[in-house]
Chain A
Amino acid sequence: MKNFKNGFIKENPVFCLYLGMCSTLALSTNLNNALGMGICVTVVLVLSNAIISLIRNITPDEIRIPVYIVVIATLVSVVELLVHAFIPSLFDALGAFLSLIVVNCIILGRAEAFAKKNPVLPSIIDGLGMGLGYTFAIVLISMIREFLSTAWVSLYNPFNMSQLIIRVGIPQLSKYTISLFSSSVGAFLTFACIAALFAFINNKSKEGKK
């Protein structure tokens, strides 16, 4: 349970450990892409942690990295084919970043830091916690960016893009949007401010303990 909670604030993989930043920055332009990417990463992370933990005793130490990479690449190929078949709109939106989940540092990092020395169940829980921590981070950034650049935050049904699930916003602000935040500049700035906020919270809680 502790591993699970750690993934959100104290050891959030994105804001505190600075892992998996590339996809977080690139795909946080709107809520739909962010949520889709977060779910894909969580699925791959949970499965890869489980498999790597299962084979941890029969993997020779010298070649463990290539073994992990093959496991992860296979899982990502499966997820990519499934998304392509069932949610084509998400497949187009995520583009190259879907196959680049393979090189998302979070996944290899958790395999190396946790799954290779822990039994299956804790590894699955760790994967779930870290995956949800990543999803939380990318969704948070995407909501801020989407709101600042369009004054709305909207979520569509991924299987049918014309069906709107929820849409929240302040229409009065739509004249004062900052389109900069939908570009790469906004991604870096939003990320920097949230990372500073997390550092501030973590410093406070450390000082409190002293």
Chain B
Amino acid sequence: MKLLTIALSAVLINNIVLAKFLGVCPFLGVSKNTKSALGMGVAVIFVIFSSSILTYAVQYFVLVPLHIEYMQLISFILIIAAFVQFVEMFMKKHLPGLYKTLGVYLPLITTNCAVLYVAQDNITKGYNFLETVVNSIATPLGFLLVIYLFSCVRERLDYAHTPKPFKGNPIGLVVAGLMALAFAGLAGII
């Protein structure tokens, strides 16, 4: 039951983009069409899931036994950076089409705050291994859900008559605000 609560709250209620404002840069940058939004979402799920498990292991098998918890930030960010590099190389070789659409945003997953946040969140909330796994799948799933919905709206927005200064990102942010309002309505389900 606790696992279900963690999952639901990570996907819908404390949604990483709309409630916690993490990962807003790729959320705006890669949501111009649904295909690249899906690609980005899947890449983020993979990176967050794998790096959270790695950082969990590093925290409890290296940092805590050696009493060097203050190295947490440096070691976590290095693991994440190395991991993103790996995903990038893999995509370049096996999925060149997707690699081209994601372009500059792929290396930027390193600086996607969501990845580091989930890794640290698992530790600060004191989750055990199973809870860590659930949290690190559900949180990026929330990201995928929101970025996909957002990219659908944005494709329609291209045909709408928006005032000139609002064209592009500003109107996107207004839409994001309205989505946040809609998601805030789900807060009662737990």
* Residues of chain A having any CB pair with chain B under 8 Å: 18-19, 21-23, 25-26, 65-66, 69-70, 73-74, 76-77, 80-81, 96, 99-100, 102-105, 108, 183-189, 191-193, 195-197, 199-200, 203
**Of the residues A19, A23, A77, contact of B73 by C-beta under 8 Å:** A77
* Residues of chain B having any CB pair with chain A under 8 Å: 18-25, 28-29, 70, 73-74, 77-78, 81-82, 107-108, 110-113, 115-117, 120-121, 124, 163-174, 176-178, 180-181, 184
A73-B77, A196-B165, A196-B170 in contact; A188/B111 too (CB < 8 A)?
no
Are B112 and A103 in contact, CB atoms less than 8 angstroms apart? yes
Residues in A whose Cβ lies below 8 Å from that of B180 = 183-185, 188
Cα of A26 to Cα of B113 in the assembled complex, Å: 12
* Known interface pairs A21-B28, A183-B180, A185-B181; 6 further A-B residue pairs with C-beta atoms within 8 A, sorted by A's residue number: A66-B78, A77-B73, A184-B18, A184-B21, A195-B169, A196-B165
Are B165 and A192 in contact, CB atoms less than 8 angstroms apart? no
Of chain A, the residue at the smallest CB distance from B19 is A184
Residues in B whose Cβ lies below 8 Å from that of A192 = 166, 170-174, 177
A-B contact pairs, 20 of them (CB 8 A): A21-B28, A22-B21, A22-B22, A25-B24, A65-B110, A69-B77, A73-B77, A74-B74, A76-B73, A81-B70, A99-B116, A100-B113, A100-B117, A103-B111, A105-B108, A105-B111, A184-B18, A184-B184, A185-B180, A195-B173
**Of the residues B82, B107, B165, contact of A203 by C-beta under 8 Å:** B165
Are B170 and A65 in contact, CB atoms less than 8 angstroms apart? no
Residues in B whose Cβ lies below 8 Å from that of A186 = 177
Residues in A whose Cβ lies below 8 Å from that of B74 = 70, 73-74, 77
Are A195 and B111 in contact, CB atoms less than 8 angstroms apart? no
Are B170 and A69 in contact, CB atoms less than 8 angstroms apart? no
A21-B24, A183-B184, A192-B171 in contact; A69/B165 too (CB < 8 A)?
no
Of chain B, the residue at the smallest CB distance from A26 is B21
B171 → A minimal CB distance (Å)? 7
A-B pairs, top 3 by smallest CB distance, nearest first, are A188-B177, A192-B173, A200-B165
Of chain B, the residue at the smallest CB distance from A65 is B81
Are A99 and B21 in contact, CB atoms less than 8 angstroms apart? no
Residues in A whose Cβ lies below 8 Å from that of B23 = 22
Residues in A whose Cβ lies below 8 Å from that of B82 = 66
Residues in B whose Cβ lies below 8 Å from that of A81 = 70
A209 → B minimal CB distance (Å)? 17
Of chain B, the residue at the smallest CB distance from A184 is B180
Max chain B C-beta neighbours (<10 A), residue from A25, A184, A186: A184
Are A18 and B177 in contact, CB atoms less than 8 angstroms apart? no
A74 → B minimal CB distance (Å)? 6
**Of the residues B120, B165, B178, contact of A199 by C-beta under 8 Å:** B165
Max chain A C-beta neighbours (<10 A), residue from B19, B24, B78, B82: B24
Are B169 and A18 in contact, CB atoms less than 8 angstroms apart? yes
Residues in B whose Cβ lies below 8 Å from that of A26 = 20-22
A183-B184, A188-B173 in contact; A105/B25 too (CB < 8 A)?
yes
Cα of A183 to Cα of B177 in the assembled complex, Å: 10
**Of the residues B73, B112, B164, B165, contact of A73 by C-beta under 8 Å:** B73
Residues in A whose Cβ lies below 8 Å from that of B174 = 188-189, 192
Residues in B whose Cβ lies below 8 Å from that of A76 = 73
Residues in B whose Cβ lies below 8 Å from that of A199 = 165-168, 170
**Of the residues A69, A96, A105, contact of B81 by C-beta under 8 Å:** A69
Cα of A26 to Cα of B114 in the assembled complex, Å: 13
A74-B74, A192-B173, A192-B177 in contact; A197/B110 too (CB < 8 A)?
no
Are A197 and B24 in contact, CB atoms less than 8 angstroms apart? no
Residues in A whose Cβ lies below 8 Å from that of B181 = 185
